[in-house]
Structure 1
Amino acid sequence: MTGKRPLVAVLTGAGISTDSGIPDYRGPQGLWQRDPSAQETVTIGPYLASGEVRRRAWLMRREAGAVGARPNAGHRALAELEHAGVPVRVLTQNVDGLHQAAGLPARKVVELHGTATEVQCVRCRTTGPMAGALERVAAGEDDPACEQCGGVLRPRTVMFGEALDERVLQQADTIAKNCQVFLAVGSSLQVHPAALLPRIALERGARLIVVNGEPTPYDEAAHEVVRTPISQALPELVARLVDGDLSEA
């Protein structure tokens, strides 16, 4: 391929991480389908108000095994795209840190909903590793408090009931406006404001490709819809992007 390579923006949702053993939320087998009450464990009001909700949340974090999860073929494919010299920015709704673990530079990953790899005290704002807090849970603390001030510990994520960081949103908006190819991967495209990003890209003339096992609100507007499992689909799409086959909308 000759000439300037197109900027590729990739919005990733929970579906890209299910092959790493991290369950999604809204899919047919998603966590909230199996246990609708689980949503309060990631909702800021109930989380702060109820020790019981926090205890359930810590137990779910420990059982989910997200801290020990490893990148899968989908994450690795996006890292390979960057290594091949294609300009790429990942806008992720996930909080698992697997894009960076796969080899994508942190500066090329926009974490729309924060990160679950760290915890933060709601009182003194001290941060620390999630792995350390989970070790305390394993040792018998069912609701570990901040070791500095005794305040409530929470993951450094954006919970339901909280607004996204405006600086992060602005960064994502700029990327969506300037990309030539927009991949929406493993996302229901129903959670706003992240769900607006494909529309922004389309309005600026980008080519939209949706990779998701279930229908999304953008399927009819997309230039291509892929139902193949993500760990298979992304390596194939990356090969086409490297060859320059997807730059024309």
Structure 2
Amino acid sequence: MDDAIDHLTRLMAESENMVFFTGAGISTESGIPDFRSPGGFWEKNRPIDFSEFMASEEARKESWRRKFNMETVLSKAAPNDGHKVIASLYQMGKVSSVITQNIDGLHQVSGVDEKDVIEIHGNTTYAKCLDCHQRMSLEEVRSIFQVDETLPVCPACGGIVKTATISFGQAMPIEAMQRAEMEAINCDLFVVAGSSLVVYPAADIPVIARQHGAELVIINREETALDRFATLALNREIGETLTRCHKFVA
């Protein structure tokens, strides 16, 4: 092993309460595009602000068109080696929770219990009512929308239905953010995997962990603004890096 992998392996082996914080970089290794990167989806398609979604039926229709166009990519995505190593460490009792900026649900598919995945940007694998929060499956919404682009409404209260993601301009989920901060405060090792750490307030969470005494590891292809505060920063592929460490972690 090289020195960096050896260092990370020792940190993981010695940790008693590890928390992972994942971003788009781990999901790109599953073939899911990074929407924010140069040339990415949001550069070619202006994001629909939450206020616009609420005010305009046409904006809501466009939002669902984009969702179902992207579904062909998302539905084929499967957990990669990075997801699998995190799930394995979780099942071993080494990882207490996974905080994720991703909306694809791949951590749950890989074997991390839903209750221990903190989705600070929501989840795109289902829809929910913005008023009473009742869930609807995407299949239900698609069956409604494919009939002359009829917009779905909540069967319980008649409210507006949206994918369960946090859109531009929409308030962050208070409970999820509070849970994420508590996990950061209580962990002894905080591992960032695939986040550029430029989206706030999410990018404050690793700082909270560091301020409360946790070792901070950042694994990301490009440098981040927090690399200089980290115990260890690795500009490498996530799946390969975690797999090399995992085989030596008891």
Coarse TM-score class (shorter-chain normalised): 0.7 to 0.9
Query: In the alignment, is residue 187 of structure 1 matched against residue 187 of structure 2?
Result: no
Query: In the alignment, is residue 144 of structure 1 matched against residue 140 of structure 2?
Result: no
AA of the residue aligned to 2:41: L
- Structure 1 spans left out of the alignment, 5+ residues: 244-249
Q: Distance in 2 between matches of 1:147 and 1:164?
A: 22
Cα drift, residue 129 of structure 1:
1.2
Give the match for residue 27 of structure 1: 37
AA of the residue aligned to 2:69: E
1:97 aligned to which of 105, 127, 130: 105
- Structure 2 spans left out of the alignment, 5+ residues: 1-9
Scaled by the length of structure 1, what TM-score is found? 0.84
AA of the residue aligned to 1:71: P
Q: Distance in 2 between matches of 1:62 and 1:228?
A: 32
Q: The residue matched to 2:243 in structure 1 has which SS? A: helix
Describe how 1:165-184 pairs up with structure 2 within 5 A. Answer: 165-184=173-192
Cα drift, residue 105 of structure 1:
1.2
Describe how 1:1-249 pairs up with structure 2 within 5 A. Answer: 5-35=15-45, 37=46, 39-40=47-48, 43-65=49-71, 66-123=74-131, 125-137=133-145, 139-146=146-153, 148=155, 151-240=159-248, 242-243=249-250
CA 1:147 to 1:68, structure 2 compared with 1: closer, same or farther past 3 Å? farther
1:112 and 1:164 in contact (8 A); partners too: yes
CA 1:178 to 1:151, structure 2 compared with 1: closer, same or farther past 3 Å? closer
Q: The residue matched to 2:203 in structure 1 has which SS? A: helix
The alignment yields a C-alpha RMSD, in angstroms, of: 2.4
Q: Distance in 2 between matches of 1:142 and 1:220?
A: 50
Cα drift, residue 82 of structure 1:
1.5
Q: The residue matched to 2:198 in structure 1 has which SS? A: coil
1:67 and 1:130 in contact (8 A); partners too: no
Aligned length: 236
Q: What do the CA deviations read for 1:59-118 (whole angstroms, capped 9, x no partner)?
A: 221122224432122111110112233133100111211101101111221111222222
2:83 and 2:107 in contact (8 A); partners too: yes
2:221 and 2:237 in contact (8 A); partners too: yes
Cα drift, residue 231 of structure 1:
2.4
2:15 and 2:188 in contact (8 A); partners too: no
CA 1:217 to 1:136, structure 2 compared with 1: closer, same or farther past 3 Å? same
Q: The residue matched to 1:115 in structure 2 has which SS? A: strand
Cα drift, residue 135 of structure 1:
4.5
Q: Distance in 2 between matches of 1:78 and 1:179?
A: 15
AA of the residue aligned to 1:30: G
Scaled by the length of structure 2, what TM-score is found? 0.84
CA 1:15 to 1:5, structure 2 compared with 1: closer, same or farther past 3 Å? closer
1:22 and 1:64 in contact (8 A); partners too: no
**After the TM superposition, which of the residue ranges 191-200 and 66-75 deviates more from structure 2?**
66-75
